[in-house]
Structure 1
Amino acid sequence: MKKYLLSLHVAVVGTLLGLSTAVPADAATGSTTPTRHPVLFVHGYNSSGSYWNTMADRFRADGWPSSHLRQWSYDWRQSNATTAQEVSAQVDRLLAETGASRVDVITHSMGGLSSRHYAKELGGSAKIDAWVSLGGPNHGTDAANSCYDTSCTEMRIGSAFLTALNSGDETPDGVRHATWWSPCDGFINPDSSVALSGAANTRTACLGHSALGTDPVVYGQVRDLVHR
């Protein structure tokens, strides 16, 4: 009983001071109830899980345990539909390991396409709380006209993959969708490609395509979105 009252006192004081303090779910055993969803990071074209090192470190500094932050790499040349199946496996693994019921998915560039396909076609919308797209070619980019990997051709404006992905509701109910786009992004052309109907769409400062994942202002906005 004393342990419970002490824990409750700490939680109340933390709240008054504006701190994020988890209250033990079972004071007798010391186990805690996670106050944050685990995060799956999905990198983009010609990239890897290491792209997220800076953002993941910032999440850890803000209280997310390493077990709740999943950086992984996939074959970015393959179809985004194939990668979506891998996203599904990663989500299920992360939920099983953390005991959470939903994940937050944070994506950069092309990573938004496979995760959207997962949500729309593979039942992922029931397992995602917040979905974030940083510089995603959600409606295509003319930069993809000069590359020929399967995944890249799917990023072309008017591709069959994007036509199917964007048909109907671009932001299905049950998932909080948010995008960030930069007026100085040299890879996403046109800039308007990123925004989705029904999402919270945010214009950033003049940032390059890769800088979206390391900019501290963007990070703070993303963190505040997923942690609520």
Structure 2
Amino acid sequence: MTPWKSAPPRWKRALGPLIALLLAIAFSVTPAAAVAAPAAAAGSGWNDYSCKPSAAHPRPVILVHGTLGNSIDNWLVLAPYLVRRGYCVFSLDYGQLPGVPVFHGLGPVAKSAEQLDVYVDKVLAATGAAEADLVGHSQGGMMPRHYLKFLGGARKVNALIGIAPSNHGTTLSGFTGLLPYFPGAEDLISSHTPALTDQVVGSPFMTRLNAGGDTVPGVRYTVIATRYDQVVTPYRSQFLAGPGVRNVTVQDLCPLDLSAHVTVGTTDRIAYHEVANALDPANAKPTTCASVID
């Protein structure tokens, strides 16, 4: 019998909203196209290890999915968007748990950063580039900071662009505040989804990650957030402080943008226009509501 099935009814009632939210996110980022994932990537021109960066775009772009995402479904829009602009684009799967297909980013965040370390080396070796640029959504915008800070990644990365990143943890709109009132509930979640526990405000992982400052020298940071984020809350907790940081709220660029946490990372072309600007700041163009057709 699984711990969830044996949990007292009061835990299930209290954690029900949290689980429902997580499932909603999962189904939002995992369309039926998952079964054709390899073909989707190959047909759209990313994860092509024969791609060589151009003089205009000399660094490969590595896309880092979020919690419950994967290397394809999170990027069905952004990856082709960047390929059309002449970038060599790659994406990895990380944080896999045994027996859990499709939904990744669930394992301990520090271990996921080790997977990113290996993958960056693989992409750099294939492309011949000295550095890469990283673009991540949700956990994928935060987890690389562990790689940069503790695994020597700053030597191999020019820029980190986080879309709705969980940089300082999240209250999950207050749901995590319920956990102390239900003894054992936090252990129940942690035993199945360590990444969620790592991303709670004030967790040991978050405390270590942010001790001594948000950034490391030599890396440019961009954070792209939405006021309507219902997962990484409060949304301003996503922002970073330090040299080389640019924090952006999409509604300041286009007041009509109603994207929430999932959509800002998976379909929002206002956010994607800012990603393109952050990848190539020397040729950046103002982002407006009209950027949806750019």
Aligned to 2:39: none
Whole-angstrom distance in 2 between the partners of 1:178 and 1:32:
22
From 68, 80, 86, the equivalent of 1:46 is: 68
Whole-angstrom distance in 2 between the partners of 1:91 and 1:82:
15
The superposition leaves residues 189-227 of structure 1 with CA deviations (integer Å, 9 ceiling, x where unpaired) of 111110000220000133111111221111111112112
Contact 1:139-1:193 within 8 A present in 2 as well? yes
Whole-angstrom distance in 2 between the partners of 1:163 and 1:216:
33
Matches within 5 A, 1:207-222: 207-213=259-265, 214-222=267-275
Question: How far did residue 33 of structure 1 move?
Answer: 5.0
Whole-angstrom distance in 1 between the partners of 2:217 and 2:260:
31
Contact 1:180-1:204 within 8 A present in 2 as well? yes
Whole-angstrom distance in 1 between the partners of 2:53 and 2:110:
37
Whole-angstrom distance in 2 between the partners of 1:32 and 1:113:
25
SS in structure 1 at match of 2:90:
strand
Whole-angstrom distance in 2 between the partners of 1:32 and 1:141:
36
From 217, 228, 234, the equivalent of 1:173 is: 217
SS in structure 2 at match of 1:201:
strand
Kindly provide the amino acid, as one letter, of the partner of residue 274 in structure 2: Q
Contact 2:53-2:129 within 8 A present in 1 as well? no
Q: In 2 relative to 1, CA 82–69 (structure 1 residues): closer, same or farther, beyond 3 Å?
A: same
Contact 1:135-1:181 within 8 A present in 2 as well? yes
SS in structure 2 at match of 1:93:
helix
From 232, 238, 245, the equivalent of 1:194 is: 238
Kindly provide the amino acid, as one letter, of the partner of residue 70 in structure 1: F
Whole-angstrom distance in 1 between the partners of 2:78 and 2:69:
15
Aligned to 2:91: 71
Contact 1:140-1:193 within 8 A present in 2 as well? yes
Aligned to 1:24: none
SS in structure 2 at match of 1:100:
coil
From 126, 131, 152, the equivalent of 1:97 is: 126
Matches within 5 A, 1:112-131: 112-131=141-160
Runs of 5+ unmatched residues, structure 2: 1-51, 97-104, 180-188, 252-257, 283-294
Of Structure 1 and Structure 2, the greater strand share is in 1
Whole-angstrom distance in 1 between the partners of 2:71 and 2:55:
24
CA RMSD across the alignment: 1.6
**Alignment size in residue pairs:** 195
Question: How far did residue 113 of structure 1 move?
Answer: 2.7
Of Structure 1 and Structure 2, the greater helix share is in 2
Kindly provide the amino acid, as one letter, of the partner of residue 108 in structure 2: S
Question: How far did residue 164 of structure 1 move?
Answer: 0.5
Contact 1:80-1:113 within 8 A present in 2 as well? no
Contact 2:170-2:201 within 8 A present in 1 as well? yes
Matches within 5 A, 1:83-94: 83-94=112-123
Question: How far did residue 71 of structure 1 move?
Answer: 1.5
Question: How far did residue 57 of structure 1 move?
Answer: 0.5
Question: How far did residue 35 of structure 1 move?
Answer: 2.8
Contact 1:130-1:177 within 8 A present in 2 as well? yes
Q: In 2 relative to 1, CA 32–112 (structure 1 residues): closer, same or farther, beyond 3 Å?
A: closer
Kindly provide the amino acid, as one letter, of the partner of residue 225 in structure 2: W
Contact 1:212-1:218 within 8 A present in 2 as well? yes
SS in structure 2 at match of 1:86:
helix
Question: How far did residue 32 of structure 1 move?
Answer: 8.2
Question: How far did residue 127 of structure 1 move?
Answer: 0.6
Aligned to 1:162: 206
SS in structure 1 at match of 2:224:
strand
